[in-house]
Chains A and B, each alone.
Chain A
Amino acid sequence: MKLTPKTATLLVLAALVAITPFFFPSGYYYRVGALIFVNGLAVTGIVILTGYAGQVSLGHAGFAGIGGYACALAPVHLGLHPALAVVLGAVMSAALAWLVGRPILRLKGYYLGVASLGMGILISMVLNNERWLTRGPDGIDVPDLGLRGVLKDWGLNLSNGEFWYFFSGIVMILGAWAALNLHQSPTGRALRALHGSEIAARTVGVDVSRLKLQAFVISAVYASVSGSLLALQNKFITPDVAGFMHSIEMVTMAVLGGAGSVLGAIFGAGILTLLPQVLTVFAEYEQMVLGLVMMLVMIFLREGLLPSILRKLRGTGE
Chain B
Amino acid sequence: MSLLDIKGLGITFGGLRAVNEVSFSVNPGEIVSVIGPNGAGKTTLFNMISGVYLPGAGQVVLNGEDVTGMRPDLLARRGMSRTFQNLQIFQSMTVLENAISGYHLQERGPVLADLLGLPSSRRRSKAAEEGARALLARVGLERAAEREAGNLSYGALKRLEIARALALNPKVLLLDEPAAGCNAVETEEIDHLIAEVAKSGVAILLVEHDMKMVMRISSHIVVLDHGEKIAEGDPATVSRDPAVIAAYLGTEAENADG
Contact = CB atoms under 8 A, between A and B. Distances in A.
Contact of B92 (A200, A208, A218, A260): A260
A186 B104 contact: yes
Contacts, number: 111
Contact of B114 (A187, A195, A199, A204): A187
A205 B77 contact: yes
Contacts of A196: 89-93
Interface centre among A177, A203, A208, A260 (most CB of B within 10 A): A203
Interface string A6-47: 000000000000000000000000000000000000000000
Interface of B: 50-52, 71-73, 75-77, 81-82, 84, 88-93, 97, 100-102, 104-105, 107-109, 111, 113-117, 121, 124-125, 128, 151, 164-165, 167-168
B108 A187 contact: yes
Given A203-B72, A204-B76, A204-B168, A186 B90 contact: no
A178 interface: yes
Interface in A203-257: 203-208, 214, 218
Nearest to A194: B90
A182 B112 CA distance: 9
A60 interface: no
B81 A203 contact: yes
Q: Which 8 A-B pairs have the closest CB atoms?
A: A196-B90, A185-B114, A181-B117, A205-B76, A200-B88, A202-B72, A205-B105, A186-B107
Nearest to A205: B76
Contact of A185 (B71, B102, B121, B165): B121
A200 B114 CA distance: 22
A189 interface: yes
B92 A186 contact: no
A260 B93 CA distance: 11
Nearest to A179: B115
A182 B110 CA distance: 11
Given A185-B125, A196-B93, A197-B88, 17 more contacts: A181-B114, A186-B114, A187-B109, A189-B93, A189-B104, A189-B107, A193-B90, A196-B91, A196-B92, A197-B90, A200-B88, A200-B89, A203-B76, A204-B101, A205-B77, A206-B73, A214-B111
Contacts of A197: 88-90
A193 B108 CA distance: 13
Contact of A203 (B82, B109, B125): B82
Given A189-B100, A193-B101, A202-B71, A184 B88 contact: no
B236 to A, nearest CB: 33
Interface residues of A, number: 30
Interface centre among A190, A193, A199, A204 (most CB of B within 10 A): A204
Contacts of B113: 185
A298 to B, nearest CB: 18
Nearest to A187: B114
Contact of B104 (A178, A184, A205, A218): A205
A197 B115 CA distance: 23
A196 B116 CA distance: 24
A7 B162 CA distance: 33
A217 to B, nearest CB: 9
A199 B73 CA distance: 9
A203 B174 CA distance: 11
A104 interface: no
Contact of A208 (B73, B125, B128, B151): B73
A188 B114 contact: yes
